[in-house]
């Protein structure tokens, strides 16, 4: 069975049967060499105007590690296509099941099993709802079996069984393609840690539903272990929690600001703390199932006064780095206007695997708004999803919008050329 899985995986990748969905290897073998020696942004700031006391986040991190996931794609449904049902670890070392429901156009929804789990799913950049998700997992010596049921958006009842061999294999290429999932909402990097084929039986409102085939006798259904993360689109604002930005020399974490996602109706905001760690200022937040970390360099002795420039951002899920992105030169401090256009490089990875994405960053001020473009160039599926963030400051509150902008891809040629120019 293992040999069959490996042969099929290698065959799909090498033969190019499905070049738009086949994973690849790291696109940059030497991420440190790609970034070069650490540098400051080099921009000249106008520090005269009164500005917020704390650095402004130029993008919203997101990421998760799926300890196990069953996936299948519906063949004939008029609205929905891929269904992923995944188990993830919570911060208290418990477990919770999520279901990611993708519409035909790639729009995703997150279903949870109870109203109290809705907040757990809000770290994923898609609408979350109580879908009464139930999963029963049984494990024999040779097989894993999942029996599931949930309510789809719109009210249909989806239920079924997915059966897979327990021992998955590590794919020869792990840099996975997010395909068109949430293509208007996220820039995504994915590490496919473990893979196995699966056998699904699916019903919708009691009627058997057909699962898409990749080839005769080969259904589009897998059991996976993977990590995914990146940058999320949306409208946000960050408001300070304290009147002073001084930081104790013992590096004790102190409340800093609340980040509010204006697209989540019941968003309570995410509280960030600040801490001085060596020569870095760490802004961190504990979300429902992950930790978010933004690392800044620069400033003066208290670590906060003066320009602070973003060097790295990371999502930690349990003991894993679900997603990490690094910048060089460091990104400019968006609290202060600067007259020149900043240009730098970025490299990102998932699940501790580095070099999965490379690209450029461009930042400038225009009409009182800071504009930051994150422009991936490799792999092609990241190239198709540039992110533009626009930041405006109103007193101590920073407002920013991030949007996936396919028109910015490939130097302005658009996302449609990324696949053609893949390398």
**Residues 303 and 215 grouped into a single domain:** no
Q: Are 386 and 406 in contact (CB under 8 A)?
A: yes
The model carries a pTM of: 0.91
Q: Is residue 254 part of a domain?
A: yes
Q: What is the mean pLDDT of residues 31-38?
A: 97
- Based on the fold, state whether residues 257 and 391 are members of the same structural domain: yes
> Domain check: are 102 and 48 in the same one?
no
Beta carbons of 193 and 351 less than 8 angstroms apart = yes
Kind of pairing between the strands at 218-219 and 213-215: antiparallel
255 strand-pairing partners? 273
Position 271 confidence tier, pLDDT thresholds 50, 70, 90? very high
User: Is 18 within the bounds of a domain?
Assistant: no
Share of the chain above pLDDT 70, in %: 89
- Do residues 139 and 217 share a domain? yes
* Secondary structure tally for the chain: helices H, strands E: 5, 26
> If you average pLDDT over residues 230-254, what whole number do you get?
72
Residue 16 within a domain: no
Choose the final residue of a domain: 230, 261, 284. Answer: 230
Domain end marker among 213, 230, 247: 230
Determine the pLDDT at residue 50.
Answer: 66
Does residue 1 fall inside a structural domain? no
Interatomic CA distance for residues 300 and 5, integer angstroms: 56
Q: Say whether both 202 and 304 belong to one domain.
A: no
Instruction: Specify whether 82 is located in the same domain as 181.
Output: yes
pLDDT reading at 240 higher than 70:
yes
Phi, psi of 225 (to 5 degrees): -130, 125
In the predicted model, is pLDDT for residue 11 greater than 60?
no
pLDDT top residue among 356 and 305: 356
- The number of distinct structural domains making up the chain is 2
Provide the 10 A C-beta neighbour count for residue 16.
10
**pLDDT for residue 257:** 87
Do residue 267 and residue 380 come from a single domain? yes
Q: Looking at 201, 230, 259, which one is the last position of a domain?
A: 230
For residues 297 and 385, membership in a common domain is answered with: yes
E strand spans, 54-206:
60-73, 80-89, 95-103, 108-112, 128-130, 134-139, 143-151, 157-165, 175-176, 186-204
Residue 8 lies in a domain: no
The mean of the pLDDT values for the chain is 89
Residue 78 sits in the same domain as residue 167: yes
CA distance 23 to 11: 12
Contacts of 367 (CB under 8 A, 6+ apart): none
Could you tell me what percent of the chain has a pLDDT over 90?
A: 69
Confidence of residue 7 (pLDDT cuts 50, 70, 90): very low
Q: Has residue 12 been placed in a domain?
A: no
260 versus 148: which is more confidently predicted?
148
Distance CA 88, CA 163 (A): 19
Task: Check residue 119 and report its DSSP letter.
Answer: H
Secondary structure (DSSP) of 27-84: S-S-HHHHH-S-----PPB---S---SSPPPSSEEEEEEEEEEEEEEBSS-SSEEEEE
**Looking at the structure, do residues 297 and 367 belong to the same domain, yes or no?**
yes
pLDDT in tens, 61-99: 999 999 999 999 999 999 999 999 999 999 887 899 999
- Residue 389 and residue 331 share a domain: yes
50: in domain: yes
Paired tokens of 193: 């840690």
118 and 221 within one domain: yes
User: What does R_g of the chain's alpha carbons equal in angstroms?
Assistant: 22
**Taking every pair of C-alpha atoms in the chain, what is the biggest distance, in angstroms?**
68
Kindly state the average pLDDT of the residues 225-247: 82
The range of the structural domain enclosing residue 243 comes to: 31-62+232-417
Question: According to the model, what pLDDT value does residue 73 have?
Answer: 96
Taking only the tens place, the pLDDT of each residue in 148-198 is: 999 999 999 999 999 998 778 999 999 999 888 899 999 999 999 999 999
125 touches 106 (CB < 8 A): no
* Domain annotation covers residue 11: no
d(CA 226, CA 196): 12
pLDDT exceeds 50 at position 382: yes
Task: Please spell the DSSP secondary structure of 219-282, one letter per residue.
Answer: ESEEEEEEEEEEEE-EEEEEEESSS-----TT---EEEEEEEETTSTT---EEEEEEEETTEEE
Q: Give tens-digit pLDDT for 129-145.
A: 999 999 999 998 889 99
- Please name the helix (run of DSSP H) or strand (run of DSSP E) that holds residue 323, with its range, or none: strand 320-331
- N-terminal to C-terminal alpha carbon distance within the chain: 32
Q: Show Cβ contacts of residue 79 under 8 Å, excluding neighbours closer than 6 positions.
A: 103, 104, 154
């Amino acid at each position: 069975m293992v040999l069959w899985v490996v042969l099929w995986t290698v065959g799909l990748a090498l033969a190019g049967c499905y070049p738009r969905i086949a994973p690849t290897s790291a696109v940059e073998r030497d991420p440190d060499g790609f970034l070069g020696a650490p540098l400051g942004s080099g921009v000249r700031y106008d520090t005269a105007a009164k500005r917020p006391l704390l650095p402004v986040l130029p993008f919203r991190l997101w990421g998760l590690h799926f300890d196990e996931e069953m996936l299948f794609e519906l063949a004939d449904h008029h609205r929905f296509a891929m269904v992923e049902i995944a188990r993830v670890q919570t911060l208290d070392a418990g477990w919770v099941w999520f279901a990611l429901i993708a519409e035909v156009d790639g729009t995703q929804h997150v279903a949870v099993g109870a109203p109290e789990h809705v907040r757990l799913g809000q770290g994923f950049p898609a609408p979350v709802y109580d879908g009464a998700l139930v999963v029963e997992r049984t494990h024999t010596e040779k097989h894993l079996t999942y029996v599931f049921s949930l309510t789809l958006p719109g009210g249909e009842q989806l239920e079924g069984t997915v059966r897979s061999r327990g021992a998955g294999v590590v794919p020869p290429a792990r840099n996975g393609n997010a395909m068109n999932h949430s293509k208007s909402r996220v820039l995504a990097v994915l590490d496919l840690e473990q893979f196995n084929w699966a056998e699904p039986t699916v019903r919708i409102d009691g009627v058997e539903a057909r699962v898409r085939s990749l080839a005769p006798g080969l259904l589009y259904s897998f059991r996976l272990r993977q990590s995914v993360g990146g940058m999320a689109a949306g409208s946000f604002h960050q408001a300070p929690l304290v009147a002073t930005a001084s930081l104790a020399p013992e590096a004790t974490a102190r409340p800093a600001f609340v980040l509010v996602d204006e697209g989540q109706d019941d968003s309570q905001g995410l509280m960030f703390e600040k801490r001085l760690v060596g020569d870095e200022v760490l802004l961190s937040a504990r979300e429902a199932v992950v930790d978010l970390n933004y690392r800044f360099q620069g400033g003066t002795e208290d670590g906060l006064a003066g320009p602070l420039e973003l060097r790295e951002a990371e999502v930690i899920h349990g003991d894993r780095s679900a997603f990490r992105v690094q910048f060089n030169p460091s990104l400019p401090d968006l609290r202060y206007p600067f007259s020149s256009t900043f240009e730098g490089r970025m490299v990102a990875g998932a699940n501790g695997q580095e070099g999965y994405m490379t690209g450029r960053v461009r930042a400038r001020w225009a009409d009182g708004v800071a504009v930051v473009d994150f422009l991936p160039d490799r792999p092609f599926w990241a190239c198709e999803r540039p992110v533009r963030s626009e930041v405006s400051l109103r007193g101590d509150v920073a407002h920013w919008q991030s949007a996936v902008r396919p028109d910015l891809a490939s130097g302005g040629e658009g996302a449609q050329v990324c696949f053609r120019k893949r390398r």
